[in-house]
Amino acid sequence: MSVHKQELKKITTHQLQEMKNRGEKIAMLTAYDYSMAKIIDGTGIDVILVGDSASNVMAGHETTLPITLDQMIYHAASVVRAVKRALVVVDLPFGTYQGSSGEALRSAIRIMKEAGAHAVKLEGGSEIKDSVERILSAGIPVMGHLGLTPQSIYKFGTYTVRAKEEEEANKLMKDAKLLQDCGCFGIVLEKIPATLAKKVSLSLHIPTIGIGAGPDVDGQVLVMQDMLGINKEFKPRFLRRYADLHAVITEAVVHYVSDVKAKEFPSEEEKY
Ligand code: KIV
């Protein structure tokens, strides 16, 4: 008797490339825990990013800088346990890849081995070329991240749109080409003018994934807590809210508190 295992199609970096080739947009969202990752993996999402935005939305820090490699591995391992289909990309946190290419490789290997991730993402261009190449040489897929790179917030001083001036736009174009030539399988373009994002996307053969980069990129990414309306304070122009979970959760919890106080929960049917 033979056992037929149902084939579950997993998303690979090659499939993302094929999506770009045939003009199919790539959908990417962040997740940081098992329960949410399980829900979004079941929707047909292509890529789940365990972003270092966990530092903001999960831990309440003002920036992404404080999150550690151990904490990223904890979040990533929880996500990987839930995911059956999507490609899971994990951010290398600040301070774990800029020092030397050897350190970058050790950090990436820990993420792959201890969390079971499928790829890593690093912020920056020419400055981190050696780290990107070293990680790729170990067979670990790398995604780049250009434009607004939140790990450099103290250098920029603000979270406003990047690469509006010609000099910075030219550097971004060069960095994108360099990351592609190194062997990155894709690049996140964050908060840059839509015209520049289009130019970059047309000039590259690898996919670009935009956040605040307009429609003419190969895919889109949003932070899940923002697009679900859990986080009310963050309202950039690029953010579309697909739900108001803040209101839904508040209403449910207010109802629960009131039921407990009124001794209406649990009921006869809800007790053993
Ligand atoms: O950390 C993150 O969530 C990210 C996305 C904003 C692309 O890098």
Question: pLDDT, tens digit, for every residue of 38-79?
Answer: 999 999 999 999 999 999 999 999 999 999 999 999 999 999
Question: Which residue puts its alpha carbon closest to atom 2 of ligand 1?
Answer: 51
- Two tokens at 100? 């030397």
pLDDT for res 233: 86
Question: Average model confidence (pLDDT) for the chain?
Answer: 96
Task: Verify whether ligand 1 is closer than 6 Å to residue 223 (CB atom).
Answer: yes
Task: Verify whether ligand 1 is closer than 6 Å to residue 55 (CB atom).
Answer: no
Task: Verify whether ligand 1 is closer than 6 Å to residue 221 (CB atom).
Answer: yes
How distant is the alpha carbon of residue 118 from its chain centre?
Answer: 13
Question: Which residue puts its alpha carbon closest to atom 4 of ligand 1?
Answer: 51
User: Is residue 33 within 8 Å of residue 39, measured between CB atoms?
Assistant: no
**Closest ligand 1 atom to 223 CA:** 3
- Two tokens at 190? 């964050």
User: Is residue 190 within 8 Å of residue 149, measured between CB atoms?
Assistant: yes
Q: How far is CA 212 from CA 220, 254, 258, in A?
A: 9, 35, 41
Total-model pTM: 0.96
Name the CATH superfamily for 13-241: Phosphoenolpyruvate-binding domains (3.20.20.60)
Q: Dihedral through CA 214, CA 215, CA 217, CA 218, nearest 10?
A: 140
User: Is residue 223 within 8 Å of residue 30, measured between CB atoms?
Assistant: yes
Q: Which residue among the candidates 24, 114, 166, 190 is catalytic per the annotation?
A: 190
Task: Verify whether ligand 1 is closer than 6 Å to residue 173 (CB atom).
Answer: no
User: Is residue 59 within 8 Å of residue 67, measured between CB atoms?
Assistant: yes
Could you give the CA distance from residue 7 to residue 43 in angstroms, rounded to a whole number? 17
Establish whether 103 is a catalytic residue.
Answer: no
Locate the domains of the chain by residue range: 13-241, 245-272
Q: Give 210-251 pLDDT, tens digit per residue.
A: 999 999 999 999 999 999 999 888 899 999 999 999 999 999
